[in-house]
Amino acid sequence: MELIKVLHEEAWNREKREFLMRAEIKPYCGSRNPAQLNI
């Protein structure tokens, strides 16, 4: 059950990141916090 939850959260984070990129909202872009790009 935990694996399903983790996979769901990963998919949701990917969708959220793609939505933000499409909307040209990139709060984590650049070297300020590059780790956030690898969610």
Domain ranges of the chain: 2-38
Q: Give the number of C-alpha atoms closer than 13 A to the C-alpha of residue 28, restricted to the C-beta side.
A: 12
Confidence band (pLDDT; 50, 70, 90) for 20? confident
Query: Among 30, 3, 23, which residue's Cα sits nearest to residue 15?
Result: 23
Cα dihedral across residues 18, 24, 30, 32: positive or negative: negative
Distance between CA atoms of residues 30 and 26, nearest Å: 9
Kindly report the pTM of this predicted structure.
0.40
Residues 3-16 pLDDT 10s: 888 888 998 899 88
